[in-house]
Amino acid sequence: MLSDLAFGLVSRGFDVHVVTSRQRYDDPKAELPAQETIRGVQVIRVKTTSFGRRNTLGRLVDYLGFYASATWALFKLADRETIVIAKTDPPLISVPAAAICKLRGASLVNWLQDLFPEVATALGIPATKGTMGELLKRMRNWSLHTAHCNVAIGQRMQEQLIAQKIPAEKIKVIHNWADGSSIKPVQPEENPLLSEWNLQSKFVVGYSGNLGKAHEFETILAAAKLFESRQQNDVLFLFIGGGAQAEQVRKAAEKYGLSNVLFKPYQPRNLLHLSLGAADAHLVVLRPELEGLIVPSKFYGIAAAGRPVLFIGSPDGEVASLIASSASGEQIDPGDGEALAAAILRLKNTVQIKPTGRSLFESHFDFPVALSQWCQLLNSAADAAKSRV
């Protein structure tokens, strides 16, 4: 998302700097250059400790180091003509960003991919409950109040912010996106992954992306067990990606003796259209208590690929609303493996699955649509800054 937006803004004439760390997501020991220009984007990588994501304490130390070094880098960069876009990883980075914007007279736009500490509280992290949770929320809300605008990635998230008394005029919904020029419906005969992964004779139910703590997988595994017990060997569950629960899901599949589950690692971006096209239908999962706090971005790539969505989550959720408006899938209650299996069979028995969701995607969720919305927002922030001078 960040790379798309940064490169897109450069193409529209914006001067873009990115302040980030020298770590890679999958390799904390990577020594990336301290400064680099990539396709016109000036990248500033600040130094931090490099414990990585596996150890909670080490990850916290990495975060604290990043807060300090990134804040200093931002202090040196920002002036009255600067618009700072603060994301939400690490948590509460909007707080030091807001402080620097106050000091330097810069404008702040918060890009909310999730709402912290609410996500952490919903996931059962004790430190974010009670008095500490309220303190963290107040700090976060202060940074939202001081911003020129807060970008929510869904309607439910907008509702959560309004419930926190963030002024509606300071909230703008800009959905995440996919690149419709590179991700398009792919015919089976044009997809080499089907033969490479031995999927030709299967009805493939895919899960592509992060297998994280915000998702539950027992519903999927329950459906897989049903197909296994019925010896319906032409249905296969394909997991592509990784994350906090990846190994747990893999071990559960082994424990249950499931021969109809296949795991593949994250695929290169240039193969995303093929990996998404390898599945006949895709699974999207979100625990109901996280509705409005997170929006599963994998929906947009699935819509671009023209595949139906089987959403395991709240019937009142963001994704459920999107698939209902585009007639591009079904919603299944978490824990109802039989309903998921029945929905899969309905799709499997369809004579020909036609591309679904693509028209909605092209009109609302293709990257050029989002880029235009972002340009409009940033231009309004620039105009507001000029009026203050």
Task: Average the pLDDT over 60-86 and give the result.
Answer: 95
CA angle at 325 for the pair 321 and 331, rounded to the nearest 5°: 50
Q: What is the pLDDT of residue 127?
A: 87
Q: What is the pLDDT of residue 344?
A: 97
Q: What is the pLDDT of residue 360?
A: 87
Q: What is the pLDDT of residue 354?
A: 56
Phi, psi values for residue 26, rounded to 5°: -100, 5
Q: What is the pLDDT of residue 79?
A: 96
Q: What is the pLDDT of residue 24?
A: 83
Q: What is the pLDDT of residue 379?
A: 97
* CB 153 within 8 Å of CB 112: yes
**Is residue 352 scored above 60 in pLDDT?**
no
**Is residue 384 scored above 90 in pLDDT?**
yes
**Is residue 171 scored above 70 in pLDDT?**
yes
Task: Average the pLDDT over 256-269 and give the result.
Answer: 95
Q: Where are the alpha helices (DSSP H) in 309-388?
A: 318-326, 337-348, 358-360, 367-388
Rounded Cα gap, residues 332 and 349, in angstroms: 18
Residue 304: CB atoms within 10 A of its CB come to: 28
| Residue 35 pLDDT class (50, 70, 90 cuts) | very high
pLDDT digits (tens, 9 = 90+) for 280-292: 999 999 999 999 9
Lowest mean pLDDT among 68-77, 94-103, 257-266, 319-328: 319-328
Lowest mean pLDDT among 79-83, 285-289, 354-358: 354-358
Domains along the sequence of the chain with CATH = 2-178+366-388 (3.40.50.2000), 188-363 (3.40.50.2000)
Task: Average the pLDDT over 162-187 and give the result.
Answer: 96
3-state secondary structure of 281: strand
Question: Which is higher by pLDDT, 30 or 133?
Answer: 133
| Residue 228 pLDDT class (50, 70, 90 cuts) | very high
Task: Average the pLDDT over 352-361 and give the result.
Answer: 72
DSSP output for 146-208? HSSEEEESSHHHHHHHHHTT--GGGEEE----B-TTT-----GGG-HHHHHTT-TTSEEEEEE
Task: Average the pLDDT over 146-175 and give the result.
Answer: 97
| Residue 353 pLDDT class (50, 70, 90 cuts) | low
**Is residue 53 scored above 80 in pLDDT?**
no
Lowest mean pLDDT among 211-225, 353-367, 368-382: 353-367
Rounded Cα gap, residues 375 and 247, in angstroms: 40
Structure tokens at 177: 């996106």
Q: What is the pLDDT of residue 389?
A: 61
Rounded to the nearest integer, the mean pLDDT of the chain is 94
Q: What is the pLDDT of residue 355?
A: 61
Q: What is the pLDDT of residue 387?
A: 86
**Is residue 351 scored above 70 in pLDDT?**
no
CA atoms within 13 A on the CB side of 227: 28
Task: Average the pLDDT over 319-327 and give the result.
Answer: 89
| Residue 319 pLDDT class (50, 70, 90 cuts) | very high
